[in-house]
Structure 1
Amino acid sequence: MKKWIGIGLAVIALITIAFIVAAYIYPDFRIATRDIAVVILAVFQMIGAILTAALLVAIFYVVFAIRRLTNETLVPKVDLLTSKLDGVIDNTRAITTNIKDTTSSVGTTTSYVAEQVVSPVIRVSGLVAGVRAAATFLARRGEK
């Protein structure tokens, strides 16, 4: 591989030296070489412009194809997902409303039980404790 690179560089160096010598010896060679170089550069520039335009057209085609594909496949799926999520959000709102109502009912029931059931039980329990304390006091009083 290195051998071929060396040979290629040597050939390029020989051609360059030949052009320099020919340009020095023959002034008309310089003018002809200049004109040929200008024509070759113009041809390469035209080829580059045509390839750039073709590449631009290809990029536009790909962009429009991707846009069409997303409009046909992705947008309907996003719309379907949005409608499903709207349903889930509505269900969640209904559930939270039910939870608020249930919490309110539990609070009301707790207050009712505290006022109507627990208060009398506490009073009766206090009365029983008082009777027990009195009975214990009276029972010890007679032992002395």
Structure 2
Amino acid sequence: MSLNVQMARRSARRPRTDRRSGAASVEFAVCLPMIAALVFGVIETSNAVFLQQALTASAYEAGNVVSAIGGTSASGIARANTVLTGLGIKSATIAVNPNVDANTPVGTTIVITCSAKLSSNSVTSWCLSGRTFTANYTVPRL
């Protein structure tokens, strides 16, 4: 039997995986950074959406307290801080414009602004870290 025939028989008996023994590892190593970037991007985007929703909810709650009869800027800011603390939001700023007290006339337009940095409220702080999110709520004095 010739050498070529013997080699052909051996290669026919061997499974084809011998030629691709490291291919799966190489493919995984190439795909892993893209998969990790996708996962961290989704996590950070989810944190950003949650932060925006929390700021909107706190501005809404503060606006309801400030616009009510007897409501003041201090009571609205306290309510917004309560909501943000309950949702785990850190380093937020709340502003009420104009300053509302007992003498603020009925019908005055009040704007509540809540803002916070994503970097203070995110685990990853990867691609949106420098952004500040803001929510405004406008309501008339009752």
TM more than 0.5: no
Higher helix share: 1
Structure ID, larger Rg: 1
The answer to which structure has the higher strand fraction is: 2
> What TM-score do you get using the length of structure 1 for normalisation?
0.37
Which TM-score applies when normalising by structure 2? 0.38
Tell me which of the two structures has the higher relative contact order, counting C-alpha pairs closer than 8 angstroms and 6 or more residues apart.
2
